[in-house]
Amino acid sequence: MRGPTSAKTFASDARGIAAVEFALVLPLLLLMLFGSYDVSRMVMANQKVGVAAGTVAELVAAQPTGTPQPQANITAMVAAGTVAMAPFGASATTVTVSAIDLTTVKGTCCTATVNWSVTQGGTLRPCNTVFTQTTLDAAPSLTSVPAALASPPAAVQALVPETAIIVTDVTFSYAPIAPGLDKVLPATLHRTTYTYPRLAGQVEMTGPFVAVAGQTGKVC
């Protein structure tokens, strides 16, 4: 018949229980660790998307409006958008910039004439189409524009019936490190920026567009 368990045996058993508990808790600890890293990384990537969209928009809007700009100038500005996303990968980033003239139709929205559109990995804006008015917080699309931009005050419309805007779209495909977080965190971060040219008129580009360095485009 076996005697009572010794203190030494009991201590050995306790260590075994602790190891089992640690093995059970470890996956949760790792998920929390990598999850917090993923969330902070995604927030930084979202900020970078905004910086990239603003950078390209400001660069294009500052160009002269008197004569068409060489294609190389515009493509360099589009490429600057992917540079602004560093340290995130350029291959996961798309940048599209378009120069659009909006002509008010009977006081509503609006015939959109796309002067030109250039993209690196994204979708070009369609030429000669009708845009719908949306609110500033609505999800942007290729054929919509915020009402505040599309319908300026009547006094302004009487003087300038056409509204020239620069539209910049930047997206970034975010891939979480922690398994399963791709079902919780946004898969694609997106920012659309609307900017008026700094000088009167529209920023135009010479054409036809010649594809270069992963970029495509068109002059309408």
Can you list the alpha helix ranges (DSSP code H) found in the chain? 7-61, 71-84, 147-150, 154-159
CB contact at 8 A, 93 and 54: no
Q: Where are the domains of the chain?
A: 21-219
At 18-66, the pLDDT tens digits run: 666 656 655 665 566 666 777 788 889 999 999 999 999 999 999 999 8
Q: pLDDT band for position 13 (50/70/90)?
A: low
Per the model's pLDDT, the better-predicted residue between 135 and 9 turns out to be 135
Q: One-letter amino acid identity for 73?
A: N
Omega before residue 208 within 30° of 0, cis:
yes
- Residue (of 192, 184, 69) closest to 122 by Cα position: 192
> What do you get for the CA distance between the two ends of the chain, in Å?
97
| pTM higher than the cut 0.75 | yes
Residues 6+ apart with CB under 8 A from 72: none
**If you average pLDDT over residues 108-137, what whole number do you get?**
85
